[in-house]
Structure 1
Amino acid sequence: MTASAVTAMDYIVTFTSSHFALKAESALKKAGMASRLISAPRAISSQCGFCLLLENCDCQDLANKLELLTVAFSHIYTRQLIDGVKHYAQQD
């Protein structure tokens, strides 16, 4: 794997219910963080089937913001595109 083969890293946040996913999306939007509600990728598990995608975000900052906004989440994953293949890694 070369440095040129690695592209920008994204973060995915999973939730235990769609209610929490929608609440998180709204809270992050109000806090000025761009997120997008997507179907959970097959490679990772989400109990409700939805997750939030945040592109080019600092993971530690994201976890702190979710905590401050009192948003309950299950896990945070990185999503990295390497040589055209998406790779996921749990961060918490």
Structure 2
Amino acid sequence: MAVMVEYIITFTSSHHALKAEQVLNEAGWKPRLIASPRAISSQCGFCLLLADNNECALSEILTTLSVSYTHLYTRQSINGVRHYAQQD
């Protein structure tokens, strides 16, 4: 059984989150704006969720597109429990 890894990007403001969503959509990524999970601290209360992407490529694209973010997390469901790990 394959484990699906999702990526969560947090921001300092909702403006940055919305701008990042727009930029990533235009670049062909499919981010979803969600409320920040309780297990993750986000200053603005929103974050972007990206399903099963390559973390290295994601970090590079965020830098290339000049996306201002605070942290990058992975999220995995293990036995029905969501686990978060900060990647930066």
**Shorter-normalised TM range:** over 0.9
Residue by residue, what CA displacement relative to the aligned partner does 1:34-54 show, whole Å, maximum 9, x if unpaired?
A: 110000000010000000000
Partner in structure 1 of residue 20 of structure 2:
24
Identity of aligned residues (%): 58
Displacement over 6 Å in runs of 4+: none
Cα deviation for residue 59 of structure 1 reads 1.1
Cα deviation for residue 60 of structure 1 reads 1.3
Partner in structure 1 of residue 34 of structure 2:
38
Counterparts of 2:48 and 2:58 in 1: how far apart (Å)?
11
Structure 2: segments with no counterpart, 5+ residues: none
Equivalent AA in structure 2 for residue 69 of structure 1: L
Equivalent AA in structure 2 for residue 81 of structure 1: S
Equivalent AA in structure 2 for residue 58 of structure 1: N
Partner in structure 2 of residue 14 of structure 1:
10
Counterparts of 1:16 and 1:63 in 2: how far apart (Å)?
17
Partner in structure 2 of residue 81 of structure 1:
77
Indicate the RMSD between aligned Cα atoms, in angstroms.
0.9
Equivalent AA in structure 1 for residue 27 of structure 2: A
Q: Which has the larger radius of gyration?
A: 1
Counterparts of 2:15 and 2:59 in 1: how far apart (Å)?
18
Counterparts of 1:88 and 1:53 in 2: how far apart (Å)?
12
Partner in structure 2 of residue 48 of structure 1:
44
Structure 1: segments with no counterpart, 5+ residues: none
Equivalent AA in structure 2 for residue 22 of structure 1: L
Equivalent residue pairs, number: 88
TM-score, with normalisation over the residues of structure 1? 0.92
TM-score, with normalisation over the residues of structure 2? 0.96
